[in-house]
Amino acid sequence: MKKLSLAMFLATMSLMAADYSQLSMDELTELRSTVSAEDREDFRAEMRSRVEAMTPENKAAFMKSRQASGGQGANGRKGDNNR
C-alpha cells in the first residue's frame, strides 16, 4: 500500500509543479532519491526549510540518521557533515 501511494504521488507530481509542503519528513526522506531534476531545487528548499525549523536536538538526530544511512551532510555533500 505504501509503495502504491508513493507511485501515485510520483505520477501526480510529474503532471504539476512540486509541492512538498504537505508531506511528512519521513515521506520527504523516502522521496529523496526519486526527485526529478526539474523538481530538485524545490525539494531541497523544502528540506532546508524543515531542517532549519528543527530544534537543535531534532536536527542532530536527523543529521545522524542521514549520516548512518549514507545520506548527504548539512552542506549537501554525501557523507560530509563537518563543514
Banded pLDDT at 18 (limits 50, 70, 90): confident
Q: 73 with 79: CB under 8 angstroms?
A: yes
Can you tell me the distance from the alpha carbon of 10 to that of 6, in angstroms, rounded to the nearest whole number? 6
Mean pLDDT of 2-15: 66
Give the predicted TM-score (pTM) of the model.
Answer: 0.61
Confidence of residue 3 (pLDDT cuts 50, 70, 90): confident
Say whether 36 sits in a helix, a strand or coil.
Answer: coil
Coil, strand or helix at 82:
coil
Digit-coded pLDDT (tens) for 24-77 = 999 998 998 899 999 999 999 999 999 999 999 999 999 998 888 776 544 454
* More confident of the two residues 49 and 12: 49
